[in-house]
Amino acid sequence: MSYRPHPKILIMTAVEAEQQAVLRGLGGYEGAEVRLAGVGPASAAAATAAVLARAGQAADGGAYSLVLSVGIGGGFAGIASVGSLVVASEIIAADLGAETPDGFAGVDELGFGSPRIAVADELAARWADALREAELPVHHGPILTLSTVTGTAETAQSLAERYPGAGAEAMEGFGVAEAARQFGIPVLELRAISNAIGPRQRDLWKIGDALQALEQACAKLPEVLQS
């Protein structure tokens, strides 16, 4: 039996600014590694799979016991305001499918698998509870993954109707989650809201506020993981 180091959690962020916010929040916690996924689902899936493969992650366990996709994201109106947090109850590839005369058909409707990946639900609930106890604004609901940042009110409305209860959209979660799924590792996603989903108003993005919220959320992780 080869030596297996105590399993850690693998946290994937798209960019360095998010990675640094997570590290600040973790405050030297040694049970996690924070690695870069790049922007978008393809890069995130490849980067996550590469980390897991290099670590020799075996089907019966290995270097990592949990994978997280965390970062900034867009919030759905009336559910997740700028500066708040969304903990995923489910990770959904919201644009994986086909455009049809009758509207969008998801990959599941096309018969090619599922656009939904379940999360480690008890951990997700514990994290959301810990954030509420810290009086941080948090929504616990589906997080959408898209390859394109929503830029119109029409698309925002369409997504809200198609995925009721969804709190946020981002671009990496499903990629990270699919890599974790293929290695048999549970997954979580958290987004700190930098902008409202809808008409593109880049100058209204509050990335600094979102990074601060991300740091606060990750500061609660060690206690959540050890409880």
Ligand X SMILES: O=C(O)c1cccc(C(=O)CC[C@H]2O[C@@H](n3cnc4c(=O)[nH]cnc43)[C@H](O)[C@@H]2O)c1
Q: Which positions lie near ligand X, rule CB under 6 A?
A: 14, 39, 71-74, 146, 149-150, 169-172, 194-195, 197, 200, 202
Using the minimum distance from each CB to ligand X, give the nearer residue, 88 or 130: 88
- Please report how close the Cβ of residue 124 comes to ligand X at its closest, in angstroms: 18
C-alpha distance from residue 181 to each of 86, 117, 118 (Å): 21, 8, 9
- Determine the Cα–Cα distance for residues 174 and 197; give it in Å rounded to an integer: 18
- Please report how close the Cβ of residue 109 comes to ligand X at its closest, in angstroms: 23
- Please report how close the Cβ of residue 85 comes to ligand X at its closest, in angstroms: 13
- Residue whose C-beta lies closest to ligand X: 74
Using the minimum distance from each CB to ligand X, give the nearer residue, 39 or 118: 39
User: Are 195 and 74 in contact, with CB atoms under 8 Å apart?
Assistant: yes
C-alpha distance from residue 177 to each of 11, 13, 38, 224 (Å): 11, 12, 14, 20
Using the minimum distance from each CB to ligand X, give the nearer residue, 63 or 76: 76
* Contacts of 215 by beta carbon, 8 Å cutoff, 6+ apart: 21, 22, 24, 25
Using the minimum distance from each CB to ligand X, give the nearer residue, 50 or 207: 207
